[in-house]
């Protein structure tokens, strides 16, 4: 992940120069740099199998803290249910009292999508967590049922707050992530896919015009009919991306730029204030340009390939954690189809913590397999020259793909976005493959030196 993070850092000064909202962009850059620090600390600290319980405790504590923050600081509003209104009146809004505004419900819902699948995966653990934990607790045995009971309570708490957010995108993401986890655990659940498609076809046919779009419009009527407006926002956002494919408009600067583009000369007061594109990929492309979009997709691709390589030879607890991390990340990306967590989003630090957790499982995978610390640590301490070589190769590919995608944007922005999607996926695969090749080469060289020594 280091080459991708370094390439992103290269974009930040440019992003700061082009923004029209210096204050908000600078705050997002500070937040992003802090997320990089969390990433580095976690990967450096969690190196051996004995550290896995601490990592899991940290993730569970993060889930509880995020749900607690949501219950105390979310800006709860509803016009549809007297029961929900009563609940929201009981819940305090410390955000509104402290800074004048609470956390947006959709934002909190998106932050919580990471955790249901992870907590559910930990519940499916067959006791490997407590077995490993008991190796380091000599004064008594830690019961597995207490651990599972605490996980269950936190899962219910997270799901409860997630339901209160009334974020359909977050609900959809959490359900999809949980389904991916269940299918990963038992492939027989794949039969639910054709059943779901049949039910969807029946519901679509029962809509007013019998089309999928008409069905989605009807489904959206109870929520202020936001789907048509989001489609219009995506269209408008793509038009802005077409004008700023290289640099983007700056982190969190859309609220300034959007009115400049779509303000009516006849009714100027009717312009909508928009903070993001209601789609994670479009928001990243809008704020950091096509090169930033390629890096974002590459990080997700890198995350997936690290999980695939680590899962092949992982032990039971490692597999449980990998499944939970992957399913949680998928859940959040499904949420990102309807809403957005751009670079530097304050609650988006969870994504970087997930990146760090998967990276430490992958980079320290040999130490994570053995209970006792492994002696061969060459994989976690590559020579500086090797790290520079890895960065130069990755950044070179990123630059070439960015140039190609930007060139296509002058002819067809949709082709440019599609090129960025494939380029980012390839770059993520290349980073992982190149790292593995360098590690293998270094390990063989070390083995040849041992007899001589």
Contacts of 157 (CB under 8 A, 6+ apart): 64, 67, 68
Q: Distance of CA 144 to CAs 54, 123, 130, 375, Å? A: 16, 10, 6, 31
Mean pLDDT within 187-214: 67
Using an 8 Å Cβ cutoff, are 312 and 436 in contact? no
Using an 8 Å Cβ cutoff, are 51 and 367 in contact? no
Mean pLDDT within 107-135: 87
Backbone angles phi, psi at 74, to 5 degrees: -80, 145
pLDDT score, position 337: 87
* Mean of the per-residue pLDDT values of the chain: 81
pLDDT score, position 381: 64
pLDDT score, position 222: 46
Q: What predicted TM-score, i.e. pTM, was given to this entire model?
A: 0.88
- What does the block give as tokens for 234? 């995506």
d(CA 347, CA 62): 11
pLDDT score, position 100: 47
User: Of the spans 70-74, 220-224, 234-238, 339-343, which averages the highest pLDDT?
Assistant: 234-238
Mean pLDDT within 357-379: 71
Span 326-362, pLDDT tens digits: 999 999 999 988 888 778 788 889 999 999 999 999 9
Span 27-76, pLDDT tens digits: 899 999 999 999 999 998 888 888 888 899 999 999 999 999 888 877 77
pLDDT score, position 49: 83
- What does the block give as tokens for 357? 């957790």
Span 239-273, pLDDT tens digits: 899 989 999 888 888 888 888 777 655 555 555 66
pLDDT score, position 225: 47
Query: Nearest Cα to 278, choosing from 314, 232, 347?
Result: 232
Using an 8 Å Cβ cutoff, are 4 and 295 in contact? yes
User: Of the spans 120-124, 216-220, 259-263, which averages the highest pLDDT?
Assistant: 120-124
pLDDT score, position 221: 47
Backbone angles phi, psi at 103, to 5 degrees: -75, 135
pLDDT score, position 99: 47
- What does the block give as tokens for 335? 């949420």
pLDDT score, position 431: 93
- What does the block give as tokens for 48? 């051996």
Q: Residue 311: pLDDT band by 50, 70, 90 thresholds?
A: confident
User: Of the spans 124-138, 147-161, 175-189, 435-449, which averages the highest pLDDT?
Assistant: 147-161
Select the more confidently predicted residue: 323 or 384: 323
Using an 8 Å Cβ cutoff, are 274 and 256 in contact? no
| 3-class SS shares of the chain: helix, strand, coil, % to 5 | 75, 0, 20
d(CA 338, CA 343): 16
Using an 8 Å Cβ cutoff, are 238 and 293 in contact? no
d(CA 428, CA 438): 16
Select the more confidently predicted residue: 265 or 20: 20
Q: Residue 195: pLDDT band by 50, 70, 90 thresholds?
A: confident
- Report the residue count for the chain: 453
Q: Which of 24-28, 204-208, 431-435 has the lowest mean pLDDT?
A: 204-208
Select the more confidently predicted residue: 225 or 25: 25
End-to-end CA separation in angstroms for the chain: 34
């Amino acid at each position: 992940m280091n080459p991708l993070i370094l390439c992103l850092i290269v974009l930040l000064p440019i992003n700061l120069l082009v923004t029209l909202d210096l204050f908000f962009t600078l705050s997002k850059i500070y937040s992003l740099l802090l997320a990089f620090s969390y990433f580095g600390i976690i990967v450096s600290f969690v190196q051996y199998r004995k550290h896995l319980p601490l990592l899991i405790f940290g993730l569970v504590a993060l889930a509880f803290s995020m749900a607690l923050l949501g219950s105390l600081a979310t800006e709860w509003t509803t016009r549809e249910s007297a029961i929900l209104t009563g609940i929201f009146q009981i819940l305090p809004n410390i955000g509104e009292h402290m800074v004048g505004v609470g956390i947006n419900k959709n934002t909190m819902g998106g932050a919580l999508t990471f955790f249901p699948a992870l907590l559910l995966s930990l519940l499916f653990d067959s006791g490997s967590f407590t077995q490993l934990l008991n190796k380091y607790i000599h004064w008594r045995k830690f019961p597995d049922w207490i651990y599972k009971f605490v996980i269950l309570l936190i899962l219910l708490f997270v799901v409860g707050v997630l339901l209160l957010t009334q974020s359909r995108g977050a609900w959809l993401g959490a359900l999809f992530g949980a389904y991916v986890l269940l299918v990963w655990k038992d492939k027989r659940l794949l039969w639910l896919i054709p059943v779901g498609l049949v039910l969807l076809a029946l519901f679509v046919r029962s809509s007013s015009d019998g089309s999928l779009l008409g069905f989605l419009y009807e489904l959206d009527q109870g929520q202020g009919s936001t789907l048509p407006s989001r489609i219009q926002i995506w269209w408008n956002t793509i038009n802005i991306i077409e004008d700023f494919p290289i640099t983007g408009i700056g982190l969190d600067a859309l609220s300034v730029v959007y009115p400049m583009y779509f303000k009516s000369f006849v009714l100027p007061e009717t312009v909508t204030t928009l903070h993001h594109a209601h789609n994670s990929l479009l928001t990243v492309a809008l704020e950091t340009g096509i090169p930033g979009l390629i890096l974002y997709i590459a990080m997700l691709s890198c995350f997936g390939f690290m999980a695939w390589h680590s899962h092949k030879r992982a032990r039971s607890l490692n597999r449980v954690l990998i499944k939970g991390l992957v399913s949680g990340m998928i859940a959040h990306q499904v949420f990102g189809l309807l809403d957005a967590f751009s670079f530097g989003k304050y609650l988006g630090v969870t994504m970087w913590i997930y990146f760090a957790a998967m990276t430490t499982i992958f980079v320290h995978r040999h130490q994570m397999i053995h209970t006792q610390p492994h002696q061969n640590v060459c994989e976690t301490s590559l020579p500086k020259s090797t790290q520079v070589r890895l960065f130069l190769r990755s950044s070179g590919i990123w630059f070439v793909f960015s140039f190609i995608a930007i060139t296509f944007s002058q002819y067809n922005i949709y082709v440019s976005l599609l090129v960025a999607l494939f380029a980012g996926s390839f770059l993520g695969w290349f980073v992982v493959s190149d790292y593995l090749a360098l590690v293998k080469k270094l390990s063989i060289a070390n083995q040849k030196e041992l007899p001589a020594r």
